[in-house]
Chain A
Amino acid sequence: EADIYQTPRYLVIGTGKKITLECSQTMGHDKMYWYQQDPGMELHLIHYSYGVNSTEKGDLSSESTVSRIRTEHFPLTLESARPSHTSQYLCASSEWSGGTDTQYFGPGTRLTVL
């Protein structure tokens, strides 16, 4: 069982609000990721980080931003939420070791923007 946590689990918010989705892991992993996923569909990488003060954009363009000030914490922020941001957001972490890079996922945050 991976020790990676996301809060809130569910969020319903109005258009134009600023929101921050929290992600924390206690495994000391250097690498962390944010994915966006519609129900039952594939995962789309939107942000990742190799370590503290490192952030990169993923394959899917996103209006969100991320920060990595501490190893264990990788929050995602939407400055002005819109209905098109409605989705599930999954956080993951990994550590390259012995030729493997298994990502461990949090439970996800389901975001609904009205």
Chain B
Amino acid sequence: GESVGLHLPTLSVQEGDNSIINCAYSNSASDYFIWYKQESGKGPQFIIDIRSNMDKRQGQRVTVLLNKTVKHLSLQIAATQPGDSAVYFCAETFQGAQKLVFGQGTRLTINP
């Protein structure tokens, strides 16, 4: 069945460095992907999304890259700040699926 997974459960970076969080998916039919950020004690918060007809999408300090050939999704955070500390989830779906499939999550820790 379809699944979404993250390569690393934890990631530590120095403040000011760039962070890259990776995600692999297995369903070739997936055509819409979302990254969520979840801070401690809060619900997941939408960060950025991308459709399968795109390879790259940029937001404020964040960039999502989609490689459909290898079914890989990544979230790049530029100039990481302490407020970026959170668990990051990728999620996938396709038209008609009626629900998102969430990955395991990567905990991002920022070192001062």
Q: Do A and B bind each other?
A: yes
Interface residues of A (CB under 8 A from B): 2, 6, 31, 33, 40-43, 45, 48, 50, 58, 90, 92, 96, 99-108, 110
* Interface size counted on chain B using CB atoms at 8 A: 25
What separation, in Å, do the CA atoms of A94 and B45 have in the docked complex? 13
What separation, in Å, do the CA atoms of A20 and B87 have in the docked complex? 28
CB < 8 Å A-B pair total: 56
Within 8 A of A (CB), among B30-51: 31-32, 34, 36, 41-46, 49, 51
Question: Quick check: is B60 within 8 A (CB to CB) of the other chain?
Answer: no
Minimum C-beta distance from B79 to chain A (A): 24
Minimum C-beta distance from A61 to chain B (A): 16
Minimum C-beta distance from B25 to chain A (A): 14
Residues of A within 8 A of B46 (CB): 2, 102-104
> Is there contact, CB below 8 Å, between A48 and B43?
no
Q: Which of A45, A50, A100, A107 contacts B51 (CB 8 A)?
A: A100
Q: Which of B44, B91, B93 contacts A90 (CB 8 A)?
A: B44
Q: Which of B43, B89, B91, B98 contacts A50 (CB 8 A)?
A: B98
* Selected interface stretch from B11-19, B70-78, B101-109: B101-109
